[in-house]
Amino acid sequence: MNYHWNWHIFWEPAPNGTGNYLDMLLSGLVLTIETAICAWIIALAFGSVIGVMRTLPSKIASWTGFAYVEFFRNMPLLVQLFVWFFVLPELLPRGMGLWLKQMPNAPFYTAAIGVGLFMSARVAEQTRAGINSLPRGQRLAATALGLTSAQTYRYVLLPMAFRIMVPPLTSEFLSTIKNTSVAITIGLIELTGQARAMQEFSFQVFEAFTAATMLYLMINIVVVIAMRFLERAVAVPGYISGK
């Protein structure tokens, strides 16, 4: 194998003056986590609303939700990021477009919003499945008690639905973290991007990618454990998802 190994490369200074290569990778890791969390907040916010809309009896709400989900599910994430990053500024009036393009952290905001909206469609589907999996009796009992539609959702349906949804939402959150890597194409130098940059500056391809792989595995383990704690903490004893 015509490859020159050098595992000490992590402690050698990186050309961007901010420390060694390990620091470069860790700064990428931080950016990955920040982007993922922002995207996830957006995904949860929009996704829950759309998911609820799809379960409402109103036809308009149902159809709007359906259109929203289909729109974001049928385009690859990469293409969506390109449209937000490259196409949107050109379609806006010149002043606004220029402001968007020259914003110092444009890739970060675009990535957070782009990934967030993409994942919101999936969260919407999970929410819909979660609400629909509840026994019909719940809704009927709520009506019998005189609760309005909003109250039914707020006090009866959603609390249980979210508890049921914690496992699938965990995997959606992990997906969000993985999807932030697609943003290297619009210039977000997160973990995968830093690994690539490290490869380009130091020529140590395999060392760089091994480190990135280890870090992603670590994130995965941390998130899975954290979500299991969450599931146990919010579990309602005696219920479907409880102990």
Partner 1 sequence: MKRLPVIGLALAAIVIAGHANAEELTGTLKKVKETGAITIGYRDSSIPFSYLDDNQKPIGFAIDICYKIVEAVQKELKLDKLKVELNPVTSSTRIPLLANDTIDLECGSTTNNPDRLKQVWFTNTHFLTATRFVSKKSSKLNSIDDLKGKSVASTSGTTNIKQLTEANAARNLGINIIPAKEHAESFLMVETDRAVAAVLDDILLASFVAGSKDPDSYVISTDAFSKPEPYGIMLRKDDVAFKKLADAATAALYTSGEGQKLYDKWFMQKIPPKGLNLNTPIGAELKHEFAKPSDSPDPDSYKAM
Partner 2 sequence: MFSNFDFDVIRRSLGYLFLDGMTFTLTLTALAVVGALIFGTLIALMRLSGFRLLGWIAGLYVDLMRSLPLVLVIFWFYFLVPYIGQWLTGASRPVHVGAFTSSLVTFIMFEAAYFSEIMRAGIQSISKGQPAAAQALGLTYSQTMRYVVLPQAFRNMLPVLLTQSIVLFQDTSLVYVLSIPDFLGAASKVAQRDGRLVEMYLFAAAVYFIISCVASFGVRRLQARIAFVH
Q: Which of residues 157 and 169 has its CB atom nearest to partner 2 in the complex?
A: 169
Q: Which amino acid is at 224?
A: V
Query: By CB under 8 A, which span of 13-21, 37-45, 48-56, 66-74 interacts with partner 2?
Result: 66-74
**196 sits near partner 2 (criterion: CB under 8 A):** yes
Residues in contact with partner 2, total (CB under 8 A)? 39
Please give the Cα distance from 57 to 59 (Å, whole number): 6
Q: Distance of alpha carbon 195 from its chain centroid, rounded?
A: 21
What is the rounded CA–CA span in Å between residue 243 and residue 98? 55
Q: Is 179 exposed, middle or buried (0-12, 13-18, 19+ CB in 10 A)?
A: buried
Using the rule CB under 8 A, which residue among 2, 93, 136, 238 binds partner 1?
2
Q: How far apart are CA 105 and CA 52, in angstroms?
A: 33
Nearer to partner 1, 30 or 222 (CB): 30
Select from 39-47, 55-63, 107-115, 209-217 the region that touches partner 2 (CB under 8 A). 209-217
76 binds, among partner 2, partner 1, none (CB under 5 to 8 A by kind): partner 2
First to last CA, the chain: 54
Contact residues for 127 (Cβ-Cβ < 8 A; gap 6+): 47, 48, 50, 51, 52, 161, 165
Candidate list 187, 222, 224, 240; residue touching partner 1; CB under 8 A: 187
> What residues make contact with partner 2 under the rule CB under 8 A?
1-3, 70-71, 73-80, 82-83, 86-87, 90-91, 174, 177-182, 184-185, 192, 195-196, 205-206, 209, 212-213, 216-217, 220
